[in-house]
Amino acid sequence: MHTTQFTLTPCKPFDFVSTIESHGWMNLTPFSWDADSGILSRPERVSDKVVEMQIRGSAVREQPAHVQVTVIHEGELDGTTIESLRARVFRSLMLGVDLTAFHRVCRRTPGLQNAPAHARGRLLLGSTLFEDIVKTILTTNVNWAGTKRMVNRLVDAFGSPLPWDARRRAFPTAEQIADGAEQILEEGLGLGYRASYIVDLARQICDGSLDLSRFENAGLNSDQLYRELRAIKGIGDYAASSILLFLGHAERIPVDSWARSLISTHFHAGEKVTNEQAAGAFGEFGRWRALAFWFYEWPA
């Protein structure tokens, strides 16, 4: 067994724990979060290898701000593989996000005034956009326990195992899901109607008709991204708005029953609100609207 270490430098301010605990992804396979040790770990398939990444990071007041990654692996890792791992961690922790403008607004807004002190504003993402889209589809019309079960089944069925611990598997690639399409569609894996959406997504990526890098690298604005995301089978308003937030576009609140309940209770005296009313909340935040909703300190 070998280990390789590297360090990444995030935009400041940065708080590792706040970032990890910002989003339920920390509780979804293949992530494993140990709050006591402060280590986020996950198996990762890269360059036909499966490695384990153990990730630690600095608190908001620590200088310099940093993220340290220990990669456990068999054999040697070449420079290309290491750079790919670096890029995935950088993406997953949104290390390039500048929160300065968002925090400036938070300081004068009740319910958000603690966000700057805790460097809130980043979300934990998967290591690839494909992972985030699949997991988002698996959050639709289901409770959180159901989402966890579905993600576990998909990873267990198709993810590549760690060579030294077959119980732990990396998130499956689009190719692995496309190859297992018939099993997914016939057996269902408890995914329900979502199975066909995930298979279609994987097949489009594999046949080249859908290039997810376009969403991250083409310089599209939020409206363009939203329209193109909605064109993907299985991506409705809630899912598209969620994925936009993962891509760093926070103009649209992902409206589901949880969001409607919060906004109804705290801004409309418990009266039923429409999706349009919920989506319009925090309008004064403009391009930060979804972040303001996400990190607002909702009363218990």
**Numbered ranges of CATH 3.30.310.20 in the chain:** 2-106
DSSP characters for 236-292? -HHHHHHHHHHTT--SS----HHHHHHHHHHHSTT----HHHHHTTTGGGGGGHHHH
pLDDT of residue 267: 85
pLDDT of residue 140: 93
pLDDT for 173-209, tens place per residue? 999 999 999 888 888 789 999 999 999 999 999 999 9
Residue 236's contacts (CB-CB under 8 Å, 6 or more residues apart) are 140, 230
Topology of the domain comprising 2-106: TATA-Binding Protein (3.30.310)
Q: What is the mean pLDDT of the chain?
A: 94
Mean pLDDT of 241-264: 93
Count of alpha carbons within 13 angstroms of residue 103, beta-carbon side: 16
Mean pLDDT of 81-92: 97
pLDDT of residue 33: 98
Contact yes or no for 291/285 (Cβ under 8 A):
yes
pLDDT greater than 90 at residue 298: no
- The pTM assigned to this predicted structure is 0.95
Q: Which CATH architecture has domain 129-246?
A: Orthogonal Bundle (1.10)
Cα–Cα nearest to 116, from 23, 15, 26, 16: 15
Distance CA 21, CA 158 (A): 27
**Numbered ranges of CATH 1.10.340.30 in the chain:** 129-246
For the beta carbon of residue 51, count every other beta carbon within 10 angstroms: 24
pLDDT for 19-56, tens place per residue? 999 999 999 999 999 999 999 999 999 988 999 999 99
pLDDT of residue 274: 87
Bridge partners, residue 5, by sequence: 70
